[in-house]
Amino acid sequence: MKKSISIKRIIIEILIGCLLIIVYCPNNLYYPVKKVYPAYYVHEDIYFNAQDGIKLNAWYIKPKDGMPTILFSHGNGGNISYFFDILIPFAQKGYGIFIYDYRGYGNSKSFPFENGLYKDLRGAINYLNNEKNTPNKNIILWGLSIGGGVTSKIANENDFKAIILQSTFTNIKDMGKVVLKRLTNSDIISNIVYIIPFFQNFNTYSRIDKITEPILIIHSKNDELIPYEMALKNYSKNRNAVLKIISDDGHNNYEHSQPEIMNFLTNICPRKFCDKERE
């Protein structure tokens, strides 16, 4: 009798898990905000086309003295006006800044989905190459949260100055397991993600070992959304990366991450070296 009850419980938990995955996970991947708030640091407001022609919005700051340009892919919530302040200290140091909104975010058209986001970043790179005369060797790809998943994909397609993965998960299935565990406190339910096909993956873990550029993996132990152990798992796949685990920031505040990122960029691109490359 007890064995029968146990089997029934397992079946019920599996069904609950399947339902939660179908209903919860896809609908909680993107949180675009259409209202873009004004920024008071001088920048150029531009529009460009994604790889498939979707019209996207970006803010751009020209680099100084031959410095590289940071191409920033933001998280899954908000829009460029929510993340612009992160980049101002880097602009003040002379780095160029290009922060864009994915399709469906802010003033960008259409709606977000994984392959679409890859096309958005390819379009941003193409714009910098052709409209701002910025070759890939002078572009730093910086991805935050889901933006790290976008960045890790495109980093495998060309050679860039450097790659930054901040608060980035390993893949959607691992993240789905974390979410379901928090919702149900059930190991059975949370592990169901590994037997159900997902239509979106953002699988940084499967491709991070193919990134040959200087790469920084940075994460906070206090990240309340994405466990920092995911940074450790990503790092285990690419030991040539620089790993920084900090203790003070959460998922949506970055005060203590900025100096670490600045140090990384300074080490891989001292001003004299950047100027020499530009010449």
Q: How many domains does the chain fold into? A: 2
pLDDT in tens, 26-82: 456 899 999 999 999 999 999 999 999 999 999 999 999 889 999 999 999 999 999
Whether the predicted pLDDT of 22 surpasses 60: no
- Amino acid (1-letter code) at residue 178: V
> Which pairs from 110-119 meet CB under 8 Å and 24+ separation?
110/54, 112/30, 112/32, 113/200, 114/199, 114/200, 114/201, 114/202, 116/50, 116/52, 116/54, 117/73, 117/146, 117/150, 118/51, 118/150, 118/153, 118/154, 119/50, 119/51, 119/52, 119/54
Whether the predicted pLDDT of 276 surpasses 50: no
Residue 269 shares a structural domain with residue 190: no
pLDDT in tens, 164-217: 999 999 998 898 888 777 777 777 767 777 777 667 789 999 999 999 999 999
Coil, helix or strand at residue 56 = strand
Residue 67 shares a structural domain with residue 96: yes
Judged on CB neighbours under 10 Å (0-12, 13-18, 19+), 276 is exposed
Residue 90 neighbours by CB distance under 10 Å: 21
254 against 39, higher pLDDT: 39
Residue 162 shares a structural domain with residue 187: no
Residue 24 shares a structural domain with residue 99: no
Residue 239 shares a structural domain with residue 254: yes
Q: Which domain holds residue 8?
A: 1-32+172-199
Average pLDDT over residues 245-262: 82
Among residues of the chain, what percentage have pLDDT more than 90?
Answer: 68
Residue 109 shares a structural domain with residue 66: yes
Residue 117 shares a structural domain with residue 187: no
Residue 82 shares a structural domain with residue 95: yes
- Work out whether strand 55-61 and strand 77-78 pair parallel, antiparallel, or are unpaired: unpaired
Six-digit token string for 96: 């160029």
Residue 72 shares a structural domain with residue 100: yes
Q: What is the pTM of this model?
A: 0.88
CA distances from 105 to 7, 12, 167, 236 (A): 45, 38, 20, 33
Residue 74 shares a structural domain with residue 184: no
Q: Of 199, 215, 249, which residue is a domain's last?
A: 199
Residue 114 shares a structural domain with residue 187: no
Q: How confident is the model at residue 158 (pLDDT cuts 50, 70, 90)?
A: very high
Q: What is the pLDDT of residue 274?
A: 56
Residue 26 shares a structural domain with residue 161: no
CA distance 148 to 255: 19
pLDDT in tens, 80-95: 999 999 999 999 999 9
By the 8 A CB rule, do 234 and 170 touch? yes
Residue 104 neighbours by CB distance under 10 Å: 20
Q: Which CATH number does the domain housing residue 123 bear?
A: 3.40.50.1820
